[in-house]
Structure formats: structure tokens, C-alpha cells
Amino acid sequence: GQQRKSGEPYIVHPIETATILAELRMDTDCIIAGLLHDTVEDTDVSAEEIRSRFGNGVARIVEGVTDGPKGVPDETNQCALLLAMSMDWRIVLVKLADRLHNMRTLGAMPPEKQRRIAKETLKVFAPLARVLGLYCIKEELEELGFRYSEPEARVALARRMDELAAQQ
Ligand code: ZN
């Protein structure tokens, strides 16, 4: 019964996150972890319960995502992400898929929050996607990051592109 800020049922978010992971041809544990990535944080389901129902592999990824960086951007986040990368790169993949879906639905957030999350995305997550060779995700994160962090510049740029196209 939970809903997101956009008014969408909350379940859409984990399903979309898992779908991104499936499109990347990630393994079963990783896709299941994508479905469950917010449960320990947002519900009273424990990591132990996830372990007993879905196995150690899924539980470890969900725990890694839960313990990892979230919310407010700072330098510590980047260190934590790098640490996560050295532990299990599937954790980073779930975080990237989570971020990509959050960026796709960022329009529902207040402008100040949009800008902050977009800047963090450009600073941390797009470079991470590039390092992992996930160029489609990198480009989408950059496009969305630019749209929400520099909305005026983006409008001006789009207008100029239209003008140039009209001159051809
Ligand atoms: Zn999430």
C-alpha cells in the first residue's frame, strides 16, 4: 500500500530496478536483490529473513546496498562506493539501477532536491557507470543529471540546437 512521491505504487520502483538489472543480464541473485533492495531499510523485514528465504548471496547484496551510501551526497559516499566495489560489484550494480530509476522519476521531487540528487549523480554515479563500461547507463544518467542540475542551461541549449537545425 505504500506510495512514492510521484503517487505511483511503491512496488513499481523495485520492479523497475530489477528490470534494469535483468536488461544488463545480471545473475538471478542480483535481480532478486534488486527487487528487495529497499526492504530492510523501509520495512520491518530483517536481513536474516531475506537470508533464510532467498539465500546468502541475495542477503549479502541487499545488506551491502542498505549499509552503503544513500541520500545526502558527500565525499564519504564516494569512498563507500569504492569500498562496495572492492567487495562485490553486484552491490554497485544494484545501486546504479536504483539510482537510474530514481533519476527517471526525479520530476516528482522538489527542485532543490532534484538539483542535489542530480549533482550527486553526475559526480559519483555517472563516472561509476563509465568505469564499469555501462555506457548506456552513463549517458542516461548524464542526460538526466544535466536536465535537473542545470535546467536553465539545458533549455537554452535545446533552443540553440533548434535554431541551428532551422538554419540548415
Ligand atoms: Zn530504491
Question: What is the pTM (predicted TM-score) of this model?
Answer: 0.84
Of residues 82 and 160, the one with the higher pLDDT is 160
Of residues 18 and 156, the one with the higher pLDDT is 18
Q: Rounded CA gap, 78 and 58, in Å?
A: 23
For residue 159, the CA-to-ligand 1 centroid distance in Å is: 34
For residue 113, the CA-to-ligand 1 centroid distance in Å is: 16
Q: Rounded CA gap, 66 and 38, in Å?
A: 7
Rounded to the nearest 5°, which phi and psi values hold at 3?
A: -125, 155
For residue 168, the CA-to-ligand 1 centroid distance in Å is: 44
Residue 50: per-residue pLDDT? 96
Q: Rounded CA gap, 88 and 61, in Å?
A: 8
Residue 79: per-residue pLDDT? 61
Q: Rounded CA gap, 2 and 20, in Å?
A: 22
For residue 150, the CA-to-ligand 1 centroid distance in Å is: 24
Of residues 97 and 68, the one with the higher pLDDT is 97
Of residues 96 and 68, the one with the higher pLDDT is 96
Of 1-10, 82-91, 134-143, the one with minimum mean pLDDT is: 82-91
Q: What is the residue-averaged pLDDT of the chain?
A: 88
Mean pLDDT calculated for residue range 88-103: 92
Residue 77: per-residue pLDDT? 57
Exposure string over 98-133, b if 16+ CB within 10 A, otherwise e: bbbbbbebbeebeeeebbbbbebbbbbbbbbbeebe
For residue 121, the CA-to-ligand 1 centroid distance in Å is: 14
Task: Please write the tens of the pLDDT for every residue from 28-84.
Answer: 999 999 999 999 988 899 999 999 999 999 999 999 888 765 544 455 556 656 665
Q: What positions carry a catalytic annotation?
A: 41-42
For residue 161, the CA-to-ligand 1 centroid distance in Å is: 35
Residue 152: per-residue pLDDT? 86
Mean pLDDT calculated for residue range 96-124: 94
Q: Rounded CA gap, 134 and 129, in Å?
A: 5
Residue 168, pLDDT above cutoff 50: yes
